Amino acid sequence: MCGIAGIYFFSGENSSLKAETNKITKALSHRGPDYQNSHSFKKCTLYHARLTILDLSTDSNQPFLDSDKQKGLVYNGEIFNYKDLQTKLSNLKTKGDVEVLFKLFEKENINCLDKLNGFFAFAFYDSLKDELQVVRDRYGVKPLYYYYDKEKIAFASELKALMELTGPQELNHNALHTYLRLNYISGKETIFKNIFRLLPGEYISVKNKELVVNHWYSVPVEKKQNSIKELLTDAVKLRLHADVPVGCFLSGGLDSSIISALAKKHHDNIHTFSIGFADEPFFDETEYAELVAKHINSNHHTFKLKNTDLLENITPFLKSIDEPFADSSAFNVYVLSKYTKQHVKVALSGDGADELFMGYNKHKAELLSRTFSSKALSPLVNPVLSVLPDSRNKKFSNKIRQLKRFSKSANLNADERYINWACISSEKEVNDLLLSKSNHSFNQLFDEAFQQKNFNPVNYADLKIVLADDMLVKADRMSMQHGLEIRNPFLDYRIVEFAMNLPENKKISNQGQKLILKESFKDLLPSRIFAREKKGFELPLWKWLKNELKSDIEINWLSEKTIKEQNIFNYEGVKKLKQKLFSDNPGDSPAQIWALIIFQNWYVNFKAFIK
C-alpha cells in the first residue's frame, strides 16, 4: 500500500522535473510514510512513497528496477496470492509481492493480470522498448489519475501529486454538477478539465508516441456453484497475511461482524476497532460492536469520543480532501483510521457487501416499488408527509425523510428511481446553486449499468458507481491519510463474480436483505446482529452545522462575500439552502451544505492549481 506517480515525455529529455521530485514525493508521503524515492530514465520518471506491509527490508523499496536499470515498476496495493505465484518464478531476491509483480509483468505483460488476487494501481516502464503501461485493479480499490497532452502523460495516486507534474488546470463544471448531485464525483471525469480517472479494470499503454486506454477486465457471465462461506473464509485468510500487525474494523453491522468473526478463526489474537459518539446516542453503534467482540473473543478497542474530540479533527480532515468528496461518513473513517493506526498497520473491513448482496435501504425501496404501487396513494400521502419535519438526526424524522423520497419516486420508472435514490440533490436544486448551468447529461453515468443485460442493473450500477467512486474512495483516502491499509475481503474477485451472477432472490426478498450471508453465517454471530435494522455509518451533521460550525458557515465558507467573490455559486440559491438548514425541517440540506463546505475548503487548498 503506497502512493505512486510518474511522467513520460513522448520525445525529448526528461530533465525539466528533477527539481520537483521532493514536492511530488512529499504530496504522496502520507500514503507512504516509510520511504520515498524516484528514478529517472531518459524519457520517464517514476515516483514512489512506500508503506511497508510485506517484506520490511529495503530490498522491496521502489521504484523497483531490474539489475541493468532498464525497466522500472511503481506499485500501490497488495497481491494476496503472491506466495503461490512465487513458486512459479525463479531467481527471486526479495520476500514480498513487488518483485513477483515485476517478474510476472516483465514476462507476460497484461496477460498476467488475471492471475492476481488483490488490489493495485501500478506503472511499468521498459526503456528498451520505450513502452509505459499503467494499470488499475478490477473494481477500483486503488486510485489512479492521469493527464496527457501532445508532449507528455503524467499519472498519480492522488490529485495533489499529479498537479505538481501538470501545473494549474481549469475547473470542470460538469464534474462539479455531478459532485453536487451525488456528493462525490463519478466516472472518468474529475474536478479538473483534462485530468481523468483511470476506470476500474482499465490500463493505459503508451508506445510510439501513442496513448491507448483499454479494458483488461470485465465481470464474467458465469454461473458458479461456489459456497460463499468457503470463498469468504479463504478471502479473509489470505488478507490476514502481513509482516506488520493486522486488525479489523468492527461497526457491529453484519458485514464487518462476519469479517471479524472469520478473522478470529485464523488469528487468535485479532484486534477489532470501533468508533462511538459519547454525546450522540442515536448515532452510536458501539453496543453492537462490543456484543460481537465479546461473542468472538477479540481484543476490542472502542474509541468512544465526545463531540469536542471529534470537532478537533474537522480542520485536519478538511485539509486532507484531495478531490471534492462529501460522503459525510468519510469523517468517521478518518477518525477511526487515526486511532486504529495507533495499534495496527492493516485493517480488514466489510466494504462491498451492501453493493454485492443488496443491503442498502434503496434496495428495499426498489423491491417495494415493484411489489407495491404507491402511485395511487401518492396524492393522498404526499400532503400529509409534506407538513411533517424530516431529517437524518432522529429515528422518526429519518423515517419521514425516507418516506418522502419513496413517495416522490412513485411515478418514475426503475432507472429513474435508482438515480433518484442515489442522489443527494435533484437537477433543479443543483442548477439553483450554480452560476454555470451545466449541459452535462448526468444520466449518462448510469447508462451502461441500465443498458447491459447480463447482471441485475441495480447491482451493476452499485459496483461501477457507488462502490468504485464513493465507498472505496472513502476507505482509501481516509485510511491512507494516516498510513493505514484497509483490506476488503468481500472484494476478492472470486466473491464479486459469484455475487454478480447470483439470482436476486438469493440476496433480497420480502423476508429480508443479504439473505445468503445471513443463512451462511447464522452460526457465527449473535442473533441480534441478524435482526437489527440497517443503519449507515453517519455522524450528527445537522447538530454540528447548526451549532459548532454555524459561525464558519455564515462568516467564512458560505458568506455572501465569499460566494460572490468566488463567482461559482449563485448566492440566492446558497442563501435558501442555509435557511432550510437552520429551520426545523432540514430534509437533506445538511448533506447539501456539507458538500458546499467540503468544496470551499478544497478550493482554498487547491487554489494554486486552479486556472
Active-site residue set: 2
Cross-strand pairs, 4: 48
Torsion region of 252: left, alpha or beta (phi above 0 gives left; psi -120 to 50 gives alpha): left
Q: Would you say 334 and 481 are in contact if contact means Cβ atoms under 8 Å apart?
A: yes
| Grid coordinates given for 342 | 495507533
Please answer whether residues 194 and 169 qualify as being in contact, where contact means their C-beta atoms are separated by less than 8 angstroms.
yes
Grid coordinates belonging to 347: 485493517
Q: How far apart are CA 98 and CA 101, in angstroms?
A: 5
Q: Going by DSSP bridges, is the β-strand pair 2-9/44-50 parallel, antiparallel, or unpaired?
A: antiparallel
The single residue listed with the C-alpha cell 454540528 is 544
User: Which residues, including other chains, have CB under 8 Å from residue 414's CB and lie 6 or more apart?
Assistant: 366, 369, 370, 457
CA distance 541 to 447: 32
Q: What 3-state class would DSSP assign to 285?
A: coil
Contacts of 536 by beta carbon, 8 Å cutoff, 6+ apart: 329
Going by C-alpha positions, the residue among 294, 301, 296 that lies closest to residue 260 is: 296
- Beta strands 246-249 and 346-348: pairing type? parallel
Q: What b/e readout covers 421-431, taking b as 16+ CB neighbours within 10 angstroms? A: bbbbbeeebbb
Which residue is it, cell 532498464?
70
Q: How many CB atoms lie within 10 A of CB 533?
A: 6
The x, y and z cell numbers of residue 206, run together, are 503508451
Edge-to-edge strand list for the sheet holding 346-348:
299-305, 271-277, 246-249, 346-348, 485-487
Burial class (CB in 10 A: 0-12, 13-18, 19+), 178: buried
- Prior bond of 383 cis (ω within 30°): no
The answer to whether 589 and 577 are in contact (CB under 8 A) is yes
